[in-house]
Amino acid sequence: MPFVGKDVNSGARINILHLKDPRKELLKGQVVCPFCEAVFAIRGQVEGKLTIHFMHTTDECASSYISHPESIEHLYFKEYIARNLQSELNEYSDAKVELEYPIESMKRIIDVAFIFPNGWIVAHEVQLSEISTQELAARTKDYRNEGIDVIWWLGKGADTASNRNWCYTNQGECYTIDFETLTQISNTPQ
Ligand SMILES: [Zn+2]
């Protein structure tokens, strides 16, 4: 369930979250998947509980990029990181934030990429479904081979003692997602 699509005519990236009213601003058929070129549909509401996003009309992306099924929670947290991290962390103030940023050479899509003016990339990956420490290590190595630093956000099934331990040991720090608390905060009237 992506936030980012491609304009079928101009080829420009379209982030649905940057639009005020996507159903008014986009024509039907105007936006396709950047990877498999299938026409995207729009799902959800701009204001409301369900986050607005694009979707494949078939269940999955047919491209060769490695994709994992994304829950609404995964989508929500990606957006949360993109929105908040740059304002919270001074070191990110010069970086460009890109949701769903593809790395062609490894056929992977970074959840949230911070791209620095000198070309450095820090990848923030949201991991909510179960994952082993071996898989964490393998994916981290894939990114490092491309010169990309990766930071894991562990939540739900992925937030286990062994995964936390792996992060502390190998990355020096561990980021976890308390999804219930976050949802409560975001649903609290301002
Ligand atoms: Zn696709």
141-180 pLDDT per residue, tens:
999 999 999 999 999 999 999 999 999 999 888 899 876 6
How many angstroms separate the alpha carbon of residue 60 from the centre of ligand 1? 7
**Chain segment 8-42, per-residue pLDDT in tens:** 999 999 999 889 999 999 999 999 999 999 999 99
85 in the same domain as 146: yes
Domain count, the chain: 2
Full domain range(s) for residue 182? 72-187
pLDDT of residue 189: 43
How many angstroms separate the alpha carbon of residue 48 from the centre of ligand 1? 26
**Chain segment 50-102, per-residue pLDDT in tens:** 678 999 988 788 898 887 777 888 888 888 888 888 888 888 889 999 999 99
How many angstroms separate the alpha carbon of residue 34 from the centre of ligand 1? 7
100 in the same domain as 47: no
For residue 67, being part of any structural domain is answered with: no
Longest CA–CA span in the chain (Å) reads 49
How many angstroms separate the alpha carbon of residue 32 from the centre of ligand 1? 8
76 in the same domain as 32: no
What's at 165, amino acid-wise? N
How many angstroms separate the alpha carbon of residue 7 from the centre of ligand 1? 13
CATH number for the domain including 114? Answer: 3.40.1350
d(CA 151, CA 140): 9
For residue 61, being part of any structural domain is answered with: no
91 in the same domain as 34: no
Average pLDDT over residues 127-136: 95
Q: For residue 95, give the nearest of 173, 151, 166 by alpha carbon.
A: 151
The answer, yes or no, to whether residue 139 has pLDDT greater than 60, is yes
For residue 63, being part of any structural domain is answered with: no
How many angstroms separate the alpha carbon of residue 164 from the centre of ligand 1? 32
